[in-house]
A = this chain, B = another copy of it.
């Protein structure tokens, strides 16, 4: 991933409202939501939401699909996963032991999501 792609993603998620939008769309998964639904759910003026949706889609964090007079937005989850890989690549520059130590210090290790495990949803707990 190129740096500029990464920074524009981070910039997109640095706004509380855009973060809300993105997480809402992550939750909805492949179904996505149309703009009006999002505006309702988050209680923001449509014009303001549109501004932020534009930022999100320019960063490619969300996709848009026209659906009659509606615009359906969906989270670009593969891109998010690429971003995570970019953030953690070269971690501890090739010392998996150190990495593992760090990982276990995180509370996310237990409750971790099937989404991120390399083998389909079969945690060893």
Contact = CB atoms under 8 A, between A and B. Distances in A.
Interface of A: 3-4, 6-7, 10-16, 19-20, 23, 26-30, 77-82, 84-85, 87-93, 95-96, 98-103, 105-109, 111-121, 123-125
A-B interface, 5 closest residue pairs, ranked by CB to CB distance from nearest: A29-B92, A85-B108, A11-B14, A78-B106, A81-B106
Chain B CB within 10 Å — which of A3, A13, A93 has the most? A13
Nearest to A29: B92
Given A14-B11, A27-B93, A99 B85 contact: no
B118 A91 contact: no
Nearest to A120: B100
Contacts of A80: 87-88
A96 B119 CA distance: 13
B3 A7 contact: no
Instruction: Please give the count of copies of this chain that the complex contains.
Output: 2
A80 B89 CA distance: 13
A29 to B, nearest CB: 3
A96 B122 CA distance: 11
A112 to B, nearest CB: 5
A14 B92 CA distance: 22
A11 B78 CA distance: 21
